[in-house]
Structure 1
Amino acid sequence: MVRAAEALLSHRAASPVTLADPEDLGGSGRTVVVRARVGANLLSMDRTLVIKALPADEDPRAFHRELASYKYANALPNESRPGPQLIASDPEQRLLVLTDLGHGRSMESLLSGTDVVETSHAVSAWGQALGRMHAATVGGEGDYLALLRHGARGSDNLDILGEAAIRAVAEAPAQLTRLGVDYPDAVCDRLSAACALFADGDHRAFSPSDVGPENILLNDDGVQFMDYEWGGFRDAMLDVAYAVVTLGTALTPSLAAHRGELQTAMIDAWRSEVVGIWPSLGHDRECSRKILTTRLLWTWLSTAWMLPPDDDGLAVEATHISPAGYVHDWALHTNDPRVLVARWTALAAAADRAGDAVIGEFATRLGAALQHTWLG
């Protein structure tokens, strides 16, 4: 992998480039990610670079979407660029060479601390960075799709998480019946409306897709989103709700007592960056309704992944997403039933604050049913 990156960079520089001291950065389980020191070369480079390689049996669409996403993001203004820059790529070997964001501090570590003020500042910075990215990419979907089509024949605008959400919503009637929870038409309509936002919506912008805390680093340049795999365009309400849901999962017990405040700080920071281009979000009731709708979808999807398959084998499992099991790589995914019960409790509380009785009552009933089923 490192030797392949050397060859790629040497070809690009038209002179030998050496890489040394590779450091394993972990990757997602399917990918290999290393940091390497750049030796003497004639091409001006950072002292270290990050190399990412996807396995040969990986769905090729994942690599081509990630490559198109990095190329698209490279063209954004520095202040709106959401993460590392692409230095070089080799589609045949599914290899990416990226700028090194440095060590910094992970959002996960901040959320697992005890300092409410420090965490609130970090969460606000997260929301602002998300909003700046969204504001800078409105109207850019055509450019992104052109990059995607150029990358490889057969590449498409598939949103793998969107497909999982649609399947989970289709499964909802049977799953809720087994749990003994009514499925009001109004909730069905809200879930269907949220699913439609992957392909349409009033607030379309670029998204790295998994904008949870596991993929966020804070360094001297601010908040950085580290993983563009399956990036693309969708309604920005999906992103801010995803961030809010996964934010709540990562909190320590001392910070969990401030979950509502931190989630509000995230939303307010995001709104401050996007309200100029989407004025309707300046209306509290309208904005709250849209975020609650998308939070409902993410909370249901994370729950559906934990529920047993139905008699027809239609349950939403990792094998239905990809043979490689993409599900377990998402910040949204959890195997802890306590986390899921807490998500429904938090959603019910947010709905009550917003005066949304439909989602509030449904979240309360479902949370209680899951508490009884899983935790006794």
Structure 2
Amino acid sequence: MSLRLLCVIFYGPMNIEFHYYALYYLCRSAGLPEDSASKIAVSSQMVDENLAAWEIRGGDKTSLSIVTQNYQFWDETTARSIYRPFHFLPGEKAKADSYRRDGRAGKYPVTADSPLAREILIAALRSGNPYRIGVALHAYADTWAHQNFSADQEPQNALDPRSPLPPVGHLQALKHPDNPRLVWKDPRLKDEYVDVRNAQRFSQAATMIYRFLTTYRKKGFEDEVFVIGRLGELWENDGGTRGGLAGEDSLARASDYIIEFDIPPYEPEAWIRRLGAQAKGLLGMDSAPEKLGYDRLSWIRHAATKASSALGSTRGSITRASYEESDFAAWNQAAKTHLDYCSLIFEQRGIA
């Protein structure tokens, strides 16, 4: 198996547990209408699903949908236009330096709840566009999951110098940073930080997101201890060791939210399916609900799609007539607006 295919198998997105299920719950708890909560949560999860562009065909021209996740980590363009704006927003370097044993973080390390990430989220909230809010919340939430890593391929991302995997993003940490229920070790960090309890990190992310959402709704967040506590109980109920059958089975994980919080089951690529999209490639339109989960079989299947994306192929085609005025079109425009806004801020701040 090639190194590149190994990488796309093991380098996973932040868990759908947070980007869709927890976010949906937070939106509803903050008082957002069902329709808005759904659009925000689906928009957030869609950021991790768009590994390859769709061709939008109609009339005398063909356009491409935006790509918001990709595994061509050897390409610097991917770091600049995908990883940095959507998954690894630059944070506060001095803070990141202070956490490390060597005191030397990379040039643009991620730090939780960074001023830049807040600025991007606030701009999205001010727009009132639920699709853009969902995209921005994805990037904002990732500042907790991906803290102390960066979008670039650099030595500071290395957890083990003997690893055959290149030090880009959290590739060497595999999926550990993205599982809300996991406890793991980050050997780059000082003794007081080396043991990472994801449940604590994700609870902090949920708290701040809930505060932003309630403020957006012009209401208070006095009930945040109760609201966030319910999520914390879900993530902590196994002591952070849920990595066996229950932890690996994304259907079981999703059912926790469906039963406990009455969240609608996530339908992968539902917005695209409604358009009668014609998929091509190795897998076509995979409707398996565990598509982006943690069970091993789904990751192997999904790796084939990732490998296809890495070769630069498009995912398939959609007619322009069905695309226009659709949720997918609105999401694409929102993701492009997010990218343009990030690019402008990065340029103003001298972030390459």
Q: Which has the higher contact order (CA 8 A, sep 6+)?
A: 2
TM over 0.5, yes or no?
no
Structure with greater strand share of residues: 1
TM-score by structure 2 length?
Answer: 0.29
